[in-house]
Amino acid sequence: MLLQALTHISYAKQKDLNYNYERLEFLGDSVVNFLIVDILTEKFTRMPLKKLAAAKAFLISENFLSKLAKKWNVQDFIYLSRSEEIKGRRNSPSVLADVFEAIWAAIYVDSGRSIDFVKRLFRYHFEEEIIEAVRQGLYFDYKSILQEITQSMFKEKPSYELVKAEGPPHDQTFTVECKVKEFSTLGEGKTKKEAEQKAAQKMVEEHFKEKLQKKTKKGKDNPQNS
């Protein structure tokens, strides 16, 4: 089953295999979602729901999951077709996140669907990274932050426009453009919302970093865990 979890659909087609990681990734999406939310709700019991939701959205994003995957050097074991290899897909956050989810689905199924075993294993390897990411405030809702900045400076909101959507329906990558006055940034993600967040993050960091620093110093949020 681990072999299936590591097999990209392009490689399966190239080798005429009857398996790839997509079905496991479908299950793993929910498994990993649960494992992360379980940690969040246990370790940050006094965090408001709105911030829990923002933290969850960040922690289940392809960027964060791909970082967890790289901790296990997952990129070194993925089976890809030659064409996808040439495109550099081995280190694609989208592919790494999908394979990471597929691996956890495989572990879950192989354990006899024992969620307790999976929880213990997941926490042993990744709980520290998840807690640290939340404590550092890496889950910032950049769209909200950018909107607050632009409304205070210009009395207007940023605009977001879908530039393109690439890939098959089950694995699309969206590109969104964020505009503020004469400034423009692009963001990519597996969902439009994620792409918007990335575009907003680039806008804040590239053009309004000083405002962000003043904002975080003035009202820095220290998540409480008890």
Q: What is the DSSP string of the chain?
A: -HHHHTB-HHHHHHTT-S--SHHHHHHHHHHHHHHHHHHHHHH-TTS-HHHHHHHHHHHTSHHHHHHHHHHTTGGGT-B--HHHHHTTGGG-HHHHHHHHHHHHHHHHHHTTS-HHHHHHHHHHHHHHHHHHHHHTTTT--HHHHHHHHHHHHHSS--EEEEEEEES-GGG-EEEEEEEETTEEEEEEESSHHHHHHHHHHHHHHHH-HHHHHHHHHHS-------
177: nearest Cα among 152, 195, 150, 191: 195
Query: Residues 153, 111: one domain?
Result: no
**CATH for 85:** 1.10.1520.10
Residue 80's pLDDT is what? 97
Residue 69's pLDDT is what? 98
Q: Does residue 107 fall inside a structural domain?
A: yes
State the chain's mean pLDDT as an integer.
Answer: 91
C-alpha dist (Å) from residue 167 to 18, 28, 82, 100, 175: 21, 21, 17, 20, 12
Mean pLDDT of all residues in 8-26: 97
198: nearest Cα among 188, 190, 184, 208: 188
Residue 185's pLDDT is what? 98
34: nearest Cα among 111, 127, 132, 115: 115
Query: Residues 209, 178: one domain?
Result: yes
- The amino acid that residue 5 corresponds to is A
Q: Does residue 226 fall inside a structural domain?
A: no
The yes-or-no verdict on residue 220 having pLDDT over 80 is no
Give the tens place of pLDDT for each residue, 125-179: 999 999 999 987 777 778 888 998 999 899 999 999 999 999 888 788 999 999 9
Mean pLDDT of all residues in 57-73: 92
Residue 219's pLDDT is what? 42
Residue 212's pLDDT is what? 67
Residues with active-site annotation: 29, 101
Residue 224's pLDDT is what? 52
The yes-or-no verdict on residue 105 having pLDDT over 60 is yes
Cβ contact 93:188 at 8 Å = no
Q: pLDDT higher for 18 or 139?
A: 18
Q: Does residue 224 fall inside a structural domain?
A: no
Query: Residues 112, 169: one domain?
Result: no
Domain that holds residue 178: 142-218
Query: Residues 69, 177: one domain?
Result: no
Query: Residues 184, 81: one domain?
Result: no
Strand-pair partners of 95: none
Q: Does residue 97 fall inside a structural domain?
A: yes
Residue 148's pLDDT is what? 83
Q: Does residue 223 fall inside a structural domain?
A: no
Q: pLDDT higher for 221 or 2?
A: 2
Residue 6's pLDDT is what? 98
Q: What total number of domains does the chain contain?
A: 2
**CATH for 163:** 3.30.160.20
Residue 214's pLDDT is what? 62
The model's pTM is: 0.70
Q: pLDDT higher for 219 or 179?
A: 179
Compute the distance between CA of residue 172 and CA of residue 17 in angstroms, rounded to an integer: 23
Q: pLDDT higher for 96 or 63?
A: 96
